[in-house]
């Protein structure tokens, strides 16, 4: 998948405090009303360095983990060398990602200083557990995401001189909520509304590494969104491995589509995004919410994984090709034009050339605006590990290349159709080239545009599309003023 749909993968500057949330200080165009910086609080405090790999959920978990450490008086530093505690938030979704962890731990062994503590968090921590101590005896902390709420206790044990501490429990009905979250982007805030996954796709480690589905109460989500809006955030991205399987645990029993509307109605919030949706739980009510409320962004990420019903059955995806295509038809029939992205896996065990051709033909029908495409990677503990008819690596590579090329042409054609249109863009970056800016549209497309005005990062502007590539749009700022969709509070 190209940069056009980097679902918030960008990492921005680090910085200052605002209520229960800390925000970047680098984007100085907007007055920093949030008060002092944590980094100035206590020069002699314990220091930590936190490196994150993997998905947006991991990125956001790291924001919360950093919040826990900051609240304990730790100070965040930019290099492992300068830190007392080095934390590595890991990903094990595919083998390559997991391998990276052990090579990075090998590097730490060489550079580790006297008295420095090294911790492994996230999916590899959960998957490998205490085995990490034998593979990398210089590690002191191993903690999976389902145990993050125990972090203060684990840190206290480390501070008390314990050599090895673990948090590896996945049998939980609690979510990880923090008093302070150290957010990296000053306008777009991520917010996990459902943790874990109950879907048990046969190839996937997530149900093992993140535990069962647990949703936050709608009241606590909405309270946090109000705080975010007060702190100046205008975009909220609701996160979950299967975000639309959200099940409000409170008596209110708010449906996911109702939650979307309620978040969008918080004064100051101009854009609401959500990812990732599971096709099984994707109903008409979500489309109706997008149709009715302009602040809910016109973009849905709906992973299909394969276009073949036979392969989908092997993957335990719980829908057929036809059922998935019905969801697509419902989205395409919406009153607002909704951009659609997906995830695809090639080379699942037993995937024949005919099955692969069905995935290609599904692309023709679905006309995705973006797709993350992966080669199947066998993972520990997963049911598909033992399935017959493994596809050779070269054949997976061949299928992946064909898939990427086809999707690229679809994206080029779809983006070209937007030439001449005027779209709203949140200004997120300034290019080194004079008068060049970039941002995202409501449909989550990257727009690189020209404007002779001194734009303010975080503002919303109208941009006319004058060109297109497969991964981005090229635009010129229109002189027309943007009508505020909602009250915009920027302090
Ligand atoms: N091999 C390849 N891709 C995988 N994904 C999940 N598990 C695997 C695996 N074992 C992909 C799926 C999922 C995305 C986050 O990662 O497409 O939607
Ligand atoms: Fe993994 Fe399937 Fe859950 Fe997605 S829905 S996290 S692919 S088990």
- Residue to mutate (ligand 2; options 126, 196, 207; most atoms within 8 A of CB): 207
Q: What is the per-residue pLDDT for 180?
A: 83
Q: Are residues 203 and 276 in the same domain?
A: yes
Q: Are residues 336 and 351 in the same domain?
A: yes
Least confident of 81-95, 171-185, 316-330, 476-490: 476-490
Sequence-distant (6+) residues with CB within 8 A of 246 are 193, 194, 215, 240, 256, 259
What are φ and ψ of residue 238, in 5° steps? -85, 130
Is the per-residue pLDDT at 255 higher than 50? Answer: yes
Q: Is the CB of 206 inside a 6 Å radius of any atom of ligand 2?
A: yes
**DSSP bridge pairs for 465:** 475
The three-class DSSP label of residue 43 is coil
Is the per-residue pLDDT at 491 higher than 70? Answer: no
Is the per-residue pLDDT at 254 higher than 60? Answer: yes
Is the per-residue pLDDT at 361 higher than 90? Answer: yes
In a domain, 482, yes or no: no
Cα first-last separation, the chain: 36
- Residue to mutate (ligand 2; options 92, 94, 241, 275; most atoms within 8 A of CB): 241
Q: What is the share, in percent, of the chain residues with pLDDT greater than 90? A: 79
In a domain, 172, yes or no: no
Q: Give the Å distance between the CA of 400 and the centre of ligand 2.
A: 20
In a domain, 366, yes or no: yes
Total count of domains within the chain = 3
Average confidence score pLDDT of the chain: 88
pLDDT digits (tens, 9 = 90+) for 262-278: 999 999 999 999 999 99
Q: Give the Å distance between the CA of 276 and the centre of ligand 2.
A: 10
User: Of the candidates 442, 402, 404, 407, which has an alpha carbon nearest to the alpha carbon of residue 421?
Assistant: 442
Among the atoms of ligand 1, which is closest to the Cα of residue 382?
10
Q: Are residues 143 and 246 in the same domain?
A: no
pLDDT digits (tens, 9 = 90+) for 439-464: 999 999 999 999 999 999 999 999 99
Q: Are residues 22 and 40 in the same domain?
A: yes
Q: What is the CATH number of the domain that holds 471?
A: 2.40.50.140
Q: Are residues 245 and 380 in the same domain?
A: yes
Q: What is the per-residue pLDDT for 182?
A: 87
Q: Are residues 407 and 426 in the same domain?
A: no
Residue of the nearest CA to atom 5 in ligand 2? 199
- Residue to mutate (ligand 1; options 203, 242, 374, 396; most atoms within 8 A of CB): 374
Q: Taking every pair of C-alpha atoms in the chain, what is the biggest distance, in angstroms?
A: 64
Kindly indicate the confidence band of residue 1, based on its pLDDT and cuts at 50, 70 and 90: very low
Q: What is the per-residue pLDDT for 179?
A: 83
Ligand closest to the CA atom of residue 345: 1
Kindly indicate the confidence band of residue 98, based on its pLDDT and cuts at 50, 70 and 90: confident
Sheet arrangement for strand 15-18: 15-18, 21-24, 181-182
Least confident of 78-82, 250-254, 342-346, 478-482: 478-482
Q: Give the Å distance between the CA of 241 and the centre of ligand 2.
A: 7
Least confident of 34-48, 130-144, 208-222, 298-312: 34-48
Average pLDDT estimate for 295-301: 98
Alpha-carbon span 276 to 1, nearest angstrom: 15
Specify the DSSP class assigned to residue 324: H
Using CB distances shorter than 6 Å, the residues near ligand 1 are 93-94, 203-204, 303, 305, 343, 345, 374, 376-377, 379
> Where would I find the H helices in 149-210?
151-159, 206-209
Residue finishing a domain among 118, 137, 167? 167
Q: Give the Å distance between the CA of 301 and the centre of ligand 2.
A: 13
Among the atoms of ligand 2, which is closest to the Cα of residue 198?
3
Q: What is the per-residue pLDDT for 30?
A: 29
In a domain, 394, yes or no: yes
Q: What is the per-residue pLDDT for 111?
A: 74
Residue finishing a domain among 141, 167, 193? 167
In a domain, 210, yes or no: yes
Average pLDDT estimate for 199-222: 96
Residue finishing a domain among 117, 134, 167? 167
pLDDT digits (tens, 9 = 90+) for 19-67: 355 544 333 232 222 222 233 334 456 999 999 999 999 999 999 999 9
Q: What is the per-residue pLDDT for 401?
A: 98
Range of the domain at 230: 181-416
Ligand closest to the CA atom of residue 341: 1
pLDDT digits (tens, 9 = 90+) for 367-419: 999 999 999 999 999 999 999 999 999 999 999 999 999 999 999 999 999 99
Q: Are residues 61 and 187 in the same domain?
A: no
Q: Are residues 141 and 273 in the same domain?
A: no
Q: Are residues 374 and 431 in the same domain?
A: no
Q: Which residue has the higher pLDDT, 168 or 484?
A: 168
Kindly indicate the confidence band of residue 480, based on its pLDDT and cuts at 50, 70 and 90: low
Q: Give the Å distance between the CA of 200 and the centre of ligand 2.
A: 6
Q: Give the Å distance between the CA of 438 and the centre of ligand 1.
A: 30
Q: Is the CB of 243 inside a 6 Å radius of any atom of ligand 2?
A: no
Q: What is the per-residue pLDDT for 11?
A: 28
pLDDT digits (tens, 9 = 90+) for 109-147: 777 777 899 999 999 999 999 999 999 999 999 999 999
Alpha-carbon span 204 to 285, nearest angstrom: 28
The angle at the Cα of 28, spanning 24 to 31, to the nearest 5 degrees, equals 95
The three-class DSSP label of residue 446 is strand
- Residue to mutate (ligand 1; options 57, 91, 94; most atoms within 8 A of CB): 94
Ligand closest to the CA atom of residue 197: 2
Alpha-carbon span 244 to 299, nearest angstrom: 14
């Amino acid at each position: 998948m190209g940069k056009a749909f980097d679902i918030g993968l960008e990492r921005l500057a680090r910085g200052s405090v605002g209520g229960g949330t800390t925000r970047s200080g680098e984007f100085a165009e907007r007055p920093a009303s949030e008060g002092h910086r944590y980094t100035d609080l206590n020069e002699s405090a314990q220091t930590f360095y936190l490196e994150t790999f993997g998905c947006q959920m991991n990125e956001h978990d790291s924001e919360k983990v950093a919040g826990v450490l900051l609240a304990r008086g730790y100070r965040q530093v930019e290099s492992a060398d300068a830190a007392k505690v080095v934390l590595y938030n890991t990903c094990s979704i595919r083998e390559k990602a997991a391998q990276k962890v052990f090579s990075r731990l090998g590097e730490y062994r060489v550079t580790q200083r006297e008295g420095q503590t090294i911790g492994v968090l996230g999916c590899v921590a959960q998957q490998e557990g205490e085995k990490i101590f034998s593979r990398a005896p210089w590690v002191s902390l191993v903690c999976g995401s389902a145990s993050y709420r125990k972090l203060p206790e684990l840190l206290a044990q480390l501070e008390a001189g314990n050599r090895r501490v673990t948090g590896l429990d996945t049998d939980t009905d609690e979510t990880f909520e923090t008093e302070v979250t150290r957010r990296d982007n000053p306008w777009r805030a991520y917010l996990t509304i459902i943790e874990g996954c109950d879907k048990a796709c046969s190839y996937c480690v997530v149900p093992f590494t993140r535990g069962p589905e647990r949703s936050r109460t709608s009241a606590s989500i909405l309270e946090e969104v109000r705080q975010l809006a007060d702190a100046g955030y205008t975009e909220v991205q609701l996160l979950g491995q299967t975000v639309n399987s959200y099940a409000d645990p409170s008596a209110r029993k708010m449906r996911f589509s109702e939650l979307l509307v309620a978040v969008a109605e918080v004064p100051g919030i101009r854009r609401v995004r959500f990812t990732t949706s599971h096709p099984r739980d994707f109903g008409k009510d979500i489309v109706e919410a997008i149709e009715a409320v302009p602040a809910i962004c016109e973009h849905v990420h709906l992973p299909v994984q394969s276009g073949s019903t036979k392969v989908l059955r092997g993957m335990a995806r719980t829908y057929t090709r036809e059922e998935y295509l019905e969801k697509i038809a419902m989205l395409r029939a919406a009153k607002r034009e909704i951009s659609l992205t997906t995830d695809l896996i090639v080379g699942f065990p037993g995937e024949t050339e005919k099955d692969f051709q069905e995935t290609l033909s599904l692309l023709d029908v679905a006309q995705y605006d973006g797709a993350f495409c992966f080669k199947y990677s066998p993972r520990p503990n997963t049911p598909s590990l033992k399935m017959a008819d493994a596809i050779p690596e070269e054949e997976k590579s061949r299928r992946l290349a064909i898939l990427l090329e086809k999707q690229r042409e679809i994206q080029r054609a779809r983006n070209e159709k937007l030439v001449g249109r005027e779209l709203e863009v949140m200004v997120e970056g300034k290019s080194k080239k004079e008068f060049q800016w970039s941002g995202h549209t409501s449909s989550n497309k990257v727009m690189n545009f020209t404007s002779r005005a001194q734009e303010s990062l975080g503002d919303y502007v109208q941009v006319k599309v004058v060109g297109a590539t497969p991964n981005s749009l090229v635009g010129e700022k229109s002189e027309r003023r943007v009508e505020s969709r909602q009250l915009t509070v920027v302090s």
